[in-house]
Structure 1
């Protein structure tokens, strides 16, 4: 199979497999060819991913926004260096023509990492509130563990759009791509960690409609970002 990843999930900085999960066949839409077989996350995999995020997040939150931003900007650089390979994978994943993915998909994801990596010093420290002789201020603090759930049409972009603001603000993320386009996000996870992101801060698990509730109803999840249909959101 032409696009088989090392394993189905990326947790705590490494690929993880659990063959007890339901098989997900990734099809190349242009031909119907099976290009990869993966496994949906079991409850144990979901717990493993959220636990890794929870462990890693406090130390990440203690870093300065500037330090976090440098990692995101380096990830943007790597994505641009590998634009061709990422675009070819996006074409296999989604069926879009390469003429579109090579100018629109990984490049847009890289733009998100660069933008949020650069905006961090300007607006994450809170603000002073004038109250006459009294002194008051707001302090912005990370939420903790965030969940991202992606859609089939822009899998790499959506992963970056959700991960970039969460990470720059000091949060960790567990991301589930659409079961129809499971491949590209694993490469985004690789690139983030190559850029210097500490282990456990961006985890990818595969799954379908049964996996989402395990994530969004988990007591350790502070925020959910979903791109999907109204029925799925409900």
Structure 2
């Protein structure tokens, strides 16, 4: 029996990423969805049942993380935990799992990922990628490239292209065909994002756009935050160091390749990274020096099922997806069979 503990931002995808390889490798699973988004896991259980999966093989256990999640991590009969969530919770999962029965653990945690725009990059492409890396799903994505590094001599032009694209964002009901930007998951989360925005203002970042809650015209009933872009940011600022999990982009300028690699790695996180350049040799040279588990060149965000995903440093342990995740749900057993006559020295 293995257990999966999911996050609220991609509830059905996370449930599938954990359950499909676990079941394919011959395990039964207990899956605890986020208490904020529990319904998709229950629907997935219905789908598995309709497909013929026997009762008791995939089990959904809704509940509060501090209680239900802790119960699973401490239960001696759970052989493995796969967890997606924040760093602080991940450390508790790891400690509980080790203390109870030395469980195997896979964890995909937070990030503060760098997106490096090279000095030879097509800035239209770079701006398109930066928008997707910051405002897709209203910024509620753990791999978001929220630290956008731009050559100092091209920063003003890049800012202009970002503002052009922000003006094309259509906020509203995501069930409508003409919208591409929705609310945050809850009012408490919105308030936390707004606190980060205020810290950016206090600490001297220059606000290019946004920086407030959206109000009026149908926004009053939702947890809305305007797409926000800060520039003239420094590595010491709170909005640059800490994961915000909202629609907040930080633009930082740099002088040369060695500097930007050093600064990109100067974080406790190591989940994702990206480089925009037409020179693939240069892209690979930079990427292979970045301390990140998921990397994109001239793109951002795609994670096909064949590609293992996971982080370095505080961003996680182990990988999900690909052959690696199947292997992580199995145990290696070594067997020797003597086909000749056994010889004893006694």
Please give the TM-score of this superposition, normalised by the length of structure 1: 0.38
More strand by share: 1
Structure whose CA Rg is larger = 2
Relative contact order, higher structure (CA 8 A, sep 6+):
1
Higher relative helix content = 1
